[in-house]
Amino acid sequence: MLEAVKSGSFDRMFYRYNSMYLLRRHFHSIGISGELQPSAAAGRGILYLMNHSSWWDGLLAYHAAGKLPGGRHYFMMEEEQLRKYAFFRKLGAYSINSGSTGDLRASLRYTAGLLQAGESVWMYPEGEILPLEHRPLSLKAGAALVLRLSPQTAVVPVTLYHGLFRHTKPEATLLAGVPQLLPWAEMDRSVIARTLETVLSEQLEAHRSRIIHHKGYMPDEFRPLLRRGRSTNEWLDLLRPGRGRR
């Protein structure tokens, strides 16, 4: 497997590039609700479990993690993609290769080691990118295995809901749910997997319902994670004859 080789200087440079160029260029707005660092998880490693529905998920998670004080964040990434974009290792990405039993076990042990050391790790337990409206969510066994190896870990479910609503650029919202502090060591792997699947599925449905209820407008409880840039339709609105006249 490919381990993370964090570089503070590269991380700082890329974070600015991601925030000020990549995300601003491609998104109208990004918001977050809930707490990514809940007080209940203090002193523990945190495993963030997030649904996986777009190429942007990792960069959105990376942007959100960079807003948090202290601590270091790591991101599990498919080995083929990490070999293609090897610089992500400097940002905290490490590989998982589900096609090799040995590599898979190594990645899960590596993840458990990070969590035991009090670090924060982001995983996409579906194991692949699937359409946002794909149901039901089906989680692989990896997260359950990690929690059995690092039972002190706090799990924070994070759901991402995005779409083209009222602007020419998409809007994205992240929802951090209730931290899960269960006796992982006493639970069977299948029970852990079903529990996590239920938590993430119910949270995603509630998240989706909030957006639909607000007819595509970002609900007030979502705090801005990115300074909003104007989309094409907003620039066109500025050019309308008589705009601004009274």
Of 140, 105, 108, the closest CA to residue 125 belongs to: 140
- Burial (CB < 10 A; 0-12, 13-18, 19+), residue 39, is exposed
d(CA 177, CA 19): 24
CA–CA distances in Å: residue 31 to residues 59, 66, 97, 162: 14, 14, 32, 10
Helix-strand-coil split of the chain, %, nearest 5? 40, 15, 40
Task: Give me the residues of the chain with pLDDT under 70, please.
Answer: 228-230, 235, 242-246
Predicted local distance difference test score (pLDDT) of residue 168: 87
pLDDT digit string (tens) for 221-232? 999 998 766 677
And the tokens for 33? Answer: 């609700």
pLDDT digit string (tens) for 67-123? 998 879 999 999 999 999 999 999 999 999 999 999 999 999 999 999 999 999 999
Predicted local distance difference test score (pLDDT) of residue 15: 97
